[in-house]
């Protein structure tokens, strides 16, 4: 026997309260659907939770419902650049004769009552705390008021976090880095033979295959020729502004330096002994890696940008590096990897867990030590 409409509405509110306040799901606006609520959390096993209030009276209607869900989920996957998306459907009003069969990525629950949720195998496996969290001390109007207030507060907190994350910040570090690069460029012309002279580059700290690790840092701020300088300063300005907005000032500096060092270590390992290298390209690719990591973790908001802007720019730049002679691809690839890795270490505000940061630190340190060993002790 199905629950009454009043009890069903209250149960819907309780389920919403659970997923929004306890599991950090957010409501999703899905065009073309009625009598159902969609919730989304890209960090959970079930990235989509769907609560269906409309009556499902036979298997044909259920099959059509499954088809509709698969079509809408495909659209969400394309929008958020997600390859796998598990969906769990809570049917609040379904004929008992309709058989619910779970597929690989689409699970179904017939919600007859709170007790039925407690007994449901899928709920016990994936949401064991749900039955307890659906229990409240309040009753009647006070219960509705509490649920509404809790959901409203959670949504407001989430909005504040997102606004904080995407609020533009003054690119202090980016401007300082550009200033340092410009300073060294001027110094090479004022006190030596210019930025294209090999002896000048070596004297100011250009990267060569020797045992001086200080050059891993100094070479980041040197550039070979005015065109090289202008291109990297322009890229640093564009990318640095974004990274500083997403990660903050100190993290941007760490991403830049670490990525540059990783790119330079890979260069030392693979470069020719008679070559000198300089430039911020590896560090700039590290900024690309940081933006890529951020976009992947914020696919709900940056899925389209990830698909149409960020990935194409990275791919085009890597291919250009292989096609154009004189470009240090070792620094580019090393910087990109280093940027993504150190970004996972430093974390995204309000997003990255302590466990993820610890893993990031371990991997970042291991990579640094392993490349340093290969560069200077092999």
Q: What b-and-e string marks burial along 240-260, b requiring 16 or more CB atoms within 10 Å of the CB?
A: bbbbbbbbeeebbbbbbbbbb
CA gap 43, 41 in Å, rounded? 6
Residue 195: active-site member: no
Domains of the chain by residue range: 5-165, 169-376
Report which of residues 100 and 211 the model is more confident about: 100
**Looking at the predicted structure, is the pLDDT value of residue 256 above 70?**
yes
With bands split at pLDDT 50, 70 and 90, how would you rate the model's confidence at 247? very high
Q: Identify which of 350, 353, 360, 352 has the alpha carbon closest to the alpha carbon of residue 166.
A: 350
At residue 353, the pLDDT reads 84
Burial class, 197, CB count within 10 angstroms (exposed 0-12 / middle 13-18 / buried 19+): middle
Q: How many residues would you count in the chain?
A: 378
**Looking at the predicted structure, is the pLDDT value of residue 312 above 70?**
yes
**Looking at the predicted structure, is the pLDDT value of residue 125 above 70?**
yes
**Looking at the predicted structure, is the pLDDT value of residue 261 above 80?**
yes
Exactly one of 195, 259, 281, 364 is catalytic; name it: 281
Exactly one of 17, 223, 228, 332 is catalytic; name it: 332
Residue 159: active-site member: no
At residue 3, the pLDDT reads 52
CA gap 218, 201 in Å, rounded? 10
- pLDDT tens across 293-305, in order? 999 888 878 878 8
- pLDDT tens across 28-37, in order? 888 777 889 9
Q: Identify which of 346, 372, 253 has the alpha carbon closest to the alpha carbon of residue 293.
A: 346
Query: At the fourth CATH level, which superfamily is domain 169-376?
Result: Rhomboid-like (1.20.1540.10)
At residue 1, the pLDDT reads 42
Q: What DSSP string describes 261-317?
A: HHHHHHHHHHS-TT--B--SHHHHHHHHHHHHHHHHHTHHHHHHHIIIIIHHHHHHH
Report which of residues 215 and 317 the model is more confident about: 215
Q: Distance from first CA to last CA of the chain, Å, rounded?
A: 75
Tell me, yes or no, if the pTM score tops 0.95.
Answer: no
């Amino acid at each position: 026997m199905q629950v009454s409409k009043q009890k069903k509405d209250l149960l819907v509110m309780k389920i919403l309260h659970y997923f929004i306040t306890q599991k950090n799901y957010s409501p999703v606006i899905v065009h073309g659907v009625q009598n159902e609520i969609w919730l989304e959390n890209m960090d959970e096993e079930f990235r989509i939770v769907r609560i269906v209030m409309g009556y499902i009276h036979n298997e044909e209607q259920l099959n059509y419902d499954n088809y509709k869900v698969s079509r809408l989920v495909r659209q969400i996957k394309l929008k958020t650049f997600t390859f796998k998306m598990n969906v769990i459907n809570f049917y609040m009003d379904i004929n008992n004769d309709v058989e619910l069969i779970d597929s690989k990525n689409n699970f179904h629950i017939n919600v007859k009552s709170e007790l039925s949720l407690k007994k449901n195998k899928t709920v016990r496996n994936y949401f064991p705390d749900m039955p307890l969290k659906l229990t409240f001390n309040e009753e009647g109007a006070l219960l509705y008021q509490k649920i509404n207030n809790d959901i409203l507060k959670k949504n407001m907190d989430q909005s504040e976090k997102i606004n904080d994350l995407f609020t533009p910040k003054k690119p202090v570090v980016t401007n300082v880095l550009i200033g340092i690069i410009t300073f060294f460029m001027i110094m090479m012309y004022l006190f030596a033979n210019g930025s294209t002279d090999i002896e000048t580059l070596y004297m100011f700290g250009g990267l060569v295959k020797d045992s001086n690790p200080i050059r891993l840092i100094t070479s980041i701020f040197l550039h070979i020729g005015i065109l090289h300088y202008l291109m990297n300063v322009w890229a640093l300005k564009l990318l640095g502004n974004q990274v500083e907005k997403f990660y903050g000032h100190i993290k941007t500096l760490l991403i830049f330096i670490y990525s540059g060092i990783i790119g330079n270590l890979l260069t030392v390992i693979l470069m020719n002994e008679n070559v000198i290298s300089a430039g911020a390209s590896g560090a700039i690719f590290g900024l690309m890696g940081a933006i890529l990591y951020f976009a992947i973790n914020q696919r709900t908001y940056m899925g389209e940008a990830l698909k149409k802007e960020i990935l194409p720019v990275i791919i085009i730049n890597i291919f250009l590096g292989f096609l154009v002679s004189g470009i240090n691809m070792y620094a580019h690839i090393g910087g990109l990897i280093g940027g993504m890795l150190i970004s996972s270490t430093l974390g995204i505000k309000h997003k990255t867990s302590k466990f993820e940061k610890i893993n990031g630190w371990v991997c970042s340190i291991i990579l640094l030590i392993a490349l340093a060993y290969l560069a200077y002790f092999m």
